[in-house]
């Protein structure tokens, strides 16, 4: 009998030594004459436990972790393939509280299946959404997505169904579906985990989008910093083509959809959808003025759906289970679930998919377990480099789009970066300005020049040179950037800067009349 | 270990021929050239411009816009250290200061022995396990100064 173990191929797991562990397991099994099958799955997203090795048992999977190469002989010694009495044993994977308490809707398969086995995908409900969609009219698909309440998970939280409706309404010979896999926000890795852990789900979601609006071509724009995700996705696309899930005639339906993965060039601004389209066209990533919307005049001037990885990956489930199933999760106008990502100085960092509505505090302490350094949490940045810094006073805010907007913050792509009390918030404010100066596309003066001025002004505040006047100058500068920027790069950089200044004034000089 | 690189003229011609028919072919061509040659040499610019019917200035502008592409040869290996917030929260700034000291070079520079080019990067997606870096395409996390030294020793002695 062959025993089966799972060792993730997720790139964070690789960085923690998963390949070496897989090799050691294979070698040790061979030495002991044990027939062992090793499946390279995605990650469950419990990164402090990676490399997390799972053993298939008749009653489900048993988890061991974090496993190092040195642990391997001991695991065999303890006969971990059969009863698992070993100090690294975490019990049944699905009963690890961090995982058990989640609502894994979009991430249901990630970490469970072999990401490059189409058969495994099919055996775990894969492509059910597409079969359903092929029986429906485009209008019905769009209506279902609209009714589910799904809003864009890339940052702006725009209703996905409404965007699709616009593309559907426009008549054109050619339409595109573009997936934004630029995942530039620090503190985020959910797109990466999908591409590395369940790429067929993304392909299926894009195919459903294409069928809904009559698009025939698609692109996934993957950041160049993600070579593993890019290669896994490319292989998955080839496998899907070979089995008729992509190509001229999808599953004999007479509908065609061609999908290509494209590598980005390491520019944050290319995550902005119009800069992304410019980049796909082979140009510099300069932001376009809107209107016209990409939905009307998008890639190569044609109507184009641009959606984030998680938005598109949520679609197969919505189509399969129905809008109501998805909409029943969540709170207020934030429906369904969000894949939160606990990052930075956090004890239990990883992916936490939950229905909207729990509080930031629950996430930080009940899941995150506080900081990794053991010091108090002082500041948290939610929603990427353009997101506001929050302090203890904001921790009871429920995680939903409107509640965050009400405190001048945003959930964005769901990344949560934790800092302990050693953080210098003036330095973080300076970084926000510096980042904007480096990554600005250069089109608007307030963003391009204002951010450089911002760095200088914060430096002067830190030196203690004429603090009150410099602080007033910083606020003026932020006002100009807020009002005079074409996109959120220049328009939202003031959020981390001003939130740091307002909530942590003590870091900008002692007892200053601000 | 570095594999011998193809001659630059061949590399450029192959990359152009393989991708020029694609819509929006410029980035795929630049990636193919850099993947083969380690950088995009100046002689590639007029060839790409002619093939894609663009001006040299346009091609040059695109190469310069994207942080990923470089026009000068780099070292045998590229070490990209994350400078973004999640890694900052776990000591990236100290790691970066150490790296520059240990390699005696700044960002965008190459060590004197030509083995390592040091680059900053904004996020590698390992944000729960920082500080993170990537050696060519190999990810590393929880990188302490000691681990950084061990890693770069390995690269530099592998020459
Ligand atoms: C500076 C900037 C960077 C952005 N980066 C990303 C990104 O990396 N990934 C993403 O999905 N959306 C990003 N966005 C949002 C996109 O412009 C766009 O709203 C999104 O791709 C739409 O997809 P969604 O509706 O599914 O979220 C960014 C926006 C701005 C202004
Ligand atoms: S705000 Fe900045 S990044 Fe956005 S369009 Fe203007 S210059 Fe470009």
Q: What is the pLDDT of residues B133-147, one digit of tens each?
A: 999 999 999 999 999
Give the C-alpha distances (Å, rounded to integers) separating A224 from A231, B55, B66.
Answer: 11, 25, 10
Helices (H), A124-226: 128-135, 138-148, 160-169, 190-197, 199-213
- Domain count for chain A: 4
- Quote the minimal CA–CA distance from A147 to chain B in Å: 32
Strand, coil or helix: A218: strand
A104 located within any domain: no
Asked whether the CA dihedral A176, A182, A183, A189 is positive or negative, the reply is positive
Q: Of A59, A43, A42, A51, which is closest to residue A16 (Cα–Cα)? A: A51
Residues contacting residue B69 through CB under 8 Å, at least 6 positions apart: A265, B30, B34, B39, B40, B63
What is the average per-residue pLDDT within A72-93? 93
Question: Chain B within 8 Å of A12 (Cβ-Cβ)?
Answer: yes
Give B142→chain A minimum CA distance, Å: 8
Task: For residues A397 and A435, state if they share a domain.
Answer: no
Q: Show residues of chain B in contact with A228, CB under 8 Å.
A: 137, 139
Q: C-alpha distances in angstroms, A15 versus A175, B41, B141?
A: 39, 32, 6
- Structural domain of A207: 118-327
Is the confidence at residue A514, as pLDDT, over 70?
Answer: no
Sign for the pseudo-dihedral over CA of A135, A136, A138, A144: negative
The alpha carbon of residue A192 and the mean position of all alpha carbons in its chain are separated, in whole angstroms, by: 7
Whether residue A269 has its Cβ less than 6 Å from ligand 2: yes
Please tell me the distance from the alpha carbon of residue A71 to that of residue A271, in angstroms, as a whole number.
41
pLDDT over 60 at A346, yes or no: yes
For residues A204 and A285, state if they share a domain: yes
Tokens of A345: 């100085």
The confidence band for A1, taking pLDDT boundaries of 50, 70 and 90, is confident
ipTM > 0.85, yes or no: yes
Same-domain status, A81 and A22: yes
Q: Which residues of A touch B26 (CB under 8 A)?
A: 282-283
Which residues, 6 or more positions from A479, have their beta carbon under 8 angstroms from its beta carbon?
A494
Q: Which ligand is nearest to the CA of A287?
A: 2
Number of Cβ within 10 Å of residue B92's Cβ equals 23
- Give the domains, in start order, of chain B with CATH numbers: 8-65 (no CATH), 77-157 (3.40.30.10)
Q: Are residues A48 and A130 in the same domain?
A: no
Which residues are CB-contacts of B14 (< 8 A; sequence separation ≥ 6)? B6, B32, B36
- Interaxial angle between packed helices A467-484 and A445-463, expressed in degrees from 0 to 180 and rounded to the nearest 10: 160
Where residue A509 falls among pLDDT bands split at 50, 70, 90? confident
> Same domain for A201 and A150?
yes
Is B79 in a helix, a strand, or coil? Answer: strand
- Identify from A343, A349, A379 which residue to disrupt to test chain B contact, counting B C-beta atoms within 10 A and taking the largest count: A343
Whole-number pLDDT of residue B1: 40
pLDDT one-digit tens code per residue, A386-426: 999 999 999 999 999 999 999 999 999 999 999 999 999 99
Q: What is the mean pLDDT of residues A36-54?
A: 98
Q: What are the chain A neighbours of B126 within 8 Å (beta carbons)?
A: 11-12, 15, 189
- Model pLDDT, residue B8: 84
Same domain, A346 and A470: no
The helix/strand/coil state of B89 is coil
* Residue A228 forms part of a structural domain: yes
Q: State whether A323 and A334 are in the same domain.
A: no
Q: How far is CA B136 from CA A233, A236, A264, B117, in A?
A: 19, 23, 16, 10
Among A97, A81, A115, which Cα is nearest to A8's? A115
Tell me the average pLDDT across A133-144. 98
Strands A176-181 and A217-222: parallel
State what percent of residues in chain A have pLDDT above 90: 97
* Co-location of A210 and A242 in the same domain: yes
Strands A89-92 and A60-64: antiparallel
Quote the ligand 1 centre to A142 CA distance (angstroms): 21
């Amino acid at each position: 009998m062959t025993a089966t173990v799972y060792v993730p191929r997720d790139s964070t797991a690789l960085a923690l030594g998963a390949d070496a562990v897989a090799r050691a397991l294979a070698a040790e099994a061979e030495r002991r004459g044990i027939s062992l099958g090793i499946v390279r799955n995605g990650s469950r997203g419990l990164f402090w436990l990676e490399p997390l090795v799972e053993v298939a048992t008749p009653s489900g999977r048993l988890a061991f972790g974090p496993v190092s190469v040195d642990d391997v002989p001991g695991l065999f010694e303890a006969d971990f393939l059969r009863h698992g009495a070993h100090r690294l044993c975490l019990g049944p994977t699905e009963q690890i509280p961090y995982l058990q308490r989640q609502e894994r809707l979009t991430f249901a398969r990630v970490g469970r299946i072999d990401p490059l086995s189409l058969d495994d995908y099919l055996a775990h409900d894969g492509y059910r959404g597409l079969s359903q969609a092929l029986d429906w009219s485009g209008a019905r698909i769009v209506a279902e997505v609209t009714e589910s309440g799904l809003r864009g998970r890339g940052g702006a939280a725009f209703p996905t169904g409404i965007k699709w409706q616009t593309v559907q309404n426009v008549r054109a010979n050619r339409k595109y579906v573009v997936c934004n896999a630029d995942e530039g926000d620090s503190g985020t890795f959910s797109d990466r985990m999908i591409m590395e852990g369940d790429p067929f789900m993304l392909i299926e979601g894009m195919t459903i989008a294409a069928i809904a609006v009559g698009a025939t071509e698609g692109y996934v724009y993957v950041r160049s910093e993600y070579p593993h995700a890019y290669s896994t996705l490319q292989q998955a696309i080839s496998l899907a083509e070979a089995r008729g899930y992509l190509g001229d005639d999808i599953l004999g339906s007479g509908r065609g959809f061609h999908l290509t993965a494209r590598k980005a060039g390491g520019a944050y601004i290319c995550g902005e959808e119009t800069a992304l389209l410019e980049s796909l066209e082979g140009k510099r990533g300069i932001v376009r003025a809107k209107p016209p919307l990409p939905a009307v005049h998008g890639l190569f001037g044609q109507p184009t759906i641009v959606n984030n990885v998680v938005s598109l990956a949520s679609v197969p489930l919505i189509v399969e289970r129905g809008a109501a199933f998805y909409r029943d999760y969540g709170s207020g106008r934030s429906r369904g679930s969000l894949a939160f990502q606990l990052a930075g100085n956090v004890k239990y960092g990883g992916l936490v998919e939950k229905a909207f509505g729990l509080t930031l505090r629950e996430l930080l302490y009940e899941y995150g377990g506080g900081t990794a350094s053991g010091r108090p949490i002082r500041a948290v940045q939610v929603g990427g480099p353009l997101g506001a810094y929050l302090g203890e006073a904001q921790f009871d805010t429920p995680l939903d789009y409107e509640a965050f907007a009400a405190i001048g913050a945003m959930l964005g792509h769901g990344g949560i970066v934790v800092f302990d009390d050693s953080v210098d918030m003036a330095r973080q404010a300076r970084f926000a300005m510096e980042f904007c100066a480096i990554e600005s596309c250069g089109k608007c003066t307030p963003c391009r020049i204002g951010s450089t001025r911002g760095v200088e002004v914060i430096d002067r505040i830190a030196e203690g040179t004429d603090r009150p006047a410099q602080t007033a100058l910083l606020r003026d500068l932020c006002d100009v950037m807020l009002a005079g920027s074409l996109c959120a790069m220049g328009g939202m950089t003031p959020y981390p800067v001003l939130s740091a200044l307002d909530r942590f004034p003590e870091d900008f000089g002692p007892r200053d009349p601000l | 270990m570095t594999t011998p690189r193809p001659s630059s003229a061949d590399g450029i011609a192959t990359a152009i021929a393989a991708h020029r028919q694609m819509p929006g072919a410029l980035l795929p061509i630049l990636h193919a050239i850099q993947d083969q040659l380690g950088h995009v040499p100046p002689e590639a610019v007029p060839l790409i411009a002619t093939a894609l019917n663009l001006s040299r200035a346009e091609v040059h502008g695109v190469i310069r816009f994207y942080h990923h592409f470089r026009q000068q040869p780099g070292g045998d290996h590229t070490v990209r250290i994350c400078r973004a917030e999640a890694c900052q929260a776990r000591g990236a700034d100290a790691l970066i200061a150490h790296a520059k000291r240990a390699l005696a070079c700044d960002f965008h520079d190459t060590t004197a022995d030509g083995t390592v080019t040091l680059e900053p990067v904004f996020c590698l997606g390992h944000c729960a396990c920082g500080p993170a870096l990537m050696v060519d395409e190999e990810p590393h996390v929880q990188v302490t100064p000691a681990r950084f030294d061990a890693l770069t020793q390995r690269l530099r002695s592998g020459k």
